Amino acid sequence: MDSVITTAAKEINRDELEKLKRSATQKALFRRRAGKFALVIVNLAMSIFVLLPLLYAVSIAFMPSSELFTTEMNLIPGNPTLENFRQAMVKIPLNRFIVNSFFVAGCITFGQILSCSLAAFSFSFLDFKGKNLLFMVVMATMMIPGEATIISNYLTVSGLHWLDSYNVLIIPYLTSAMGIFLFRQFYKSFPISLYESARIDGCSNLRFIYSILIPLTKSAIGAMAVYTFINAWNMYMWPLLVTGSDRMRTVQIGIGMLDSVDSQSISMMIAGVVMIIIPSISVFIAGQRQLIRGMFSGAVKG
Amino acid sequence: MASLSFVNVCKTYKNGLTVVKDFNLDIKDREFLILVGPSGCGKSMTLRMIAGLEDITSGELWIDGQLMNMTSPQSRDLSMVFQSYALYPHLTVYQNMAFGLKVHKVPKDEIEKRVGRAAEILHISHLLDRKPSALSGGQKQRVAIGSVIVRQPKAYLMDEPLSNLDAKLRSQMRVELAKIHRELGATIIYVTHDQVEAMTLGTRIVVMNSGVIQQAASPNDIYENPVNKFVAGFIGSPSMNFFPVWVARRGEKICLEFGKNKLIANEICSKRLVEDGYVGRRVYLGIRPEDFHEEGPEEQKILFDVEMKEVLGAEILFHGRINREEICVRLSPNVKAEPGERLPVYVDMDRIKLFDMDTEQNIIYV
């Protein structure tokens, strides 16, 4: 009789235990989901806050002027139009400017990758007298602000009769101390035994760079390419100083030209801005993984 | 294949530190030469100087009768296996092995033939399409050796190639390397700090310490007839036991006395000790762990206090002390002694070594 009661009590206990377990699991699940949901909401709110100026600019670009200059809060265009884009293209030769900027930024990117990777190769792999001193000199140039040398640079290029040409936009930027530094840091984490092994195998330095180093440092090259392209695309001061004709102007100056006294159309100007940020954003999106991998390479053991 | 010759080679760093001193050595064609020594003794530096990866500060390096001091690594026609394998991670096993041949513009079908043969020798034919990241340590090691043997250079240089492998794989690879040497008939210069590798692989061993060659001889010679206390202690596992002993004349006999222990020297030792004026002086007595026996004549008996024993199956290692000196004795597994006991052992007096107290040179070196 006793044993029947004990078994029944055990059965009840087991059922209760199961119920308790289930409710505890459900509570934990709810808490986890609520936490995740709250995080998503906070993230969404933050991203809207951060992106609002950009999104509003895109919205203005499609907004007729009549909608913009009202007392109402027009965040989204009521009658979207492409007129602002058309006007921006008519007002200034934006196509030509975009082509110029692409060409200049492309050449600078290619040139910097080539020159900086070769310079960094010598600083990392080769052994020559005064290597450290020379590297320090290169690094020291990073401490001089560009504005400080702009006049002397202008005098030099004008002496060479390069003003208002692609030469003047590209050649002074074909190398950079920052690029050399970035590549050198990357190469420092490169196993030296691979270089030594290649040399013993009869490989020349150039062949090593071409067939071993470049394929293995793609992320550094990608990071450098994105960084350089965006910097070159956004150049303003130097092109403004050394170019005078529409033939050689770059997009950043073009946007400045839209903001003239006699044509104060904010929506048209913003349409121009939206057009020219598309390439740099695309380059960043395409290369962001490489950029982040390149920037943080060697930061953690991997 | 090639012969190499070092004449007074020295390597000094810019800060004045000399890592290789007055290195003189002739390496014969088809020799499997082992450079062995403790860490920092200059063995890897010597190998790197042969490869051309380090400049020679002074002296001459000759390969096949040509002075190589100023020749670049790519023109020396050598190949090298690195401790870290140095495989190109973006290339497949086949491409890794073929890389050196491609650089030397060997025709494609010849490359295929040589890589195929090397892969067969090393049992890696099924791995040719894989990238190094998909290989185990042992497989990577084989690929590294493979990319070296396809080249058929003048000499093969190997810098501790087995040090990253586990014990079992290491012993397997030792056998493979010995086979490869036999099959290729190649000149191999092999750096290691593992004396088992040195003893089993080499046709000749060069023992180095502090940048100086201590002894260059066959494995058996190095073991049986070490030139000094360093070589005697470095080669052999467990290493040789050393005791400072007094050399005394007792009647007709020459005795080696330490504490209450007294050993009677054999005829050869006695003669050398008397001739060289060691009677009445202290010398180092060297006895290898395997030169102790459980039985023997009373005059060869010594007593030691057992502190620890290692049962290895086929043998037992007893660690203990005689007076204050540590001792390791290798005996058969039927010896029953426990830590704390005093164990009598008998020394094989024909196999002892004696070293000068000051110069540490082997007194009975022949």
Contact B163, B194 (CB under 8 A): yes
B280 inside 8 A of chain A by CB: no
Read off the pLDDT of residues A82-111 as tens digits, 9 standing for 90 and up. 988 888 888 888 889 999 999 999 999 999
B13 inside 8 A of chain A by CB: no
The per-residue pLDDT for A298 is 42
Residue A32's alpha-carbon distances to A41, A107, B242, B358, in angstroms, are 14, 51, 69, 76
Q: Is the pTM of this model over 0.80?
A: no
Which two structure tokens, joined as six digits, stand for B236? 């052999």
Contact B119, B125 (CB under 8 A): yes
Interface of B with A in 52-91 (CB under 8 A): 52-53, 72-80, 82-84, 86, 88-90
Q: Do B151 and A201 touch (CB under 8 A)?
A: yes
The per-residue pLDDT for A2 is 56
Domain extents in chain A: 2-61, 84-295
What averages of pLDDT result for each successive group of 10 residues across chain A (302 residues)?
62 84 94 95 95 91 84 82 88 88 95 95 92 94 89 93 93 94 91 92 92 89 90 92 90 83 76 87 81 55 35
Q: Do B88 and A216 touch (CB under 8 A)?
A: yes
- The mean pLDDT of chain B is 91
What's the topology of domain A84-295?
MetI-like fold (1.10.3720)
B104 inside 8 A of chain A by CB: yes
The shortest CB-CB distance from A197 to any of B77, B82, B89 is to B82
Q: Do A201 and B88 touch (CB under 8 A)?
A: no
What's the topology of domain B4-226?
Rossmann fold (3.40.50)
User: B81 Cβ partners below 8 Å, 6+ apart?
Assistant: B144, B145, B148, B156, B157, B158, B159, B161
Contact A201, A138 (CB under 8 A): no
Tell me the nearest-neighbour CA distance from B64 into chain A, angstroms.
17
The shortest CB-CB distance from A200 to any of B51, B83, B89 is to B51
Residues of chain B with CATH 2.40.50.140: 241-356
Read off the pLDDT of residues B36-73 as tens digits, 9 standing for 90 and up. 999 889 999 999 999 999 999 999 999 999 999 999 99
Residue B77's CB is within 10 A of a number of other CB atoms, namely: 18
Q: Which of B68, B78, B96, B99 should we substitute to test contact with A (largest number of A Cβ atoms within 10 Å)?
A: B99
Read off the pLDDT of residues B168-222 as tens digits, 9 standing for 90 and up. 878 888 888 888 888 888 899 999 988 888 888 999 999 999 999 999 999 999 9
The per-residue pLDDT for A79 is 86
Question: What is the second-level CATH architecture of the domain B241-356?
Answer: Beta Barrel (2.40)
**What ipTM was assigned to the predicted interfaces of this complex?**
0.83
Q: Do A202 and B103 touch (CB under 8 A)?
A: yes
Q: How many CB pairs under 8 A join A and B?
A: 56
Nearest chain A residue to B84 by CA: give it: A193
**B72 interaction partners in chain A (CB closer than 8 Å):** 199
**Residue A164, amino acid:** D
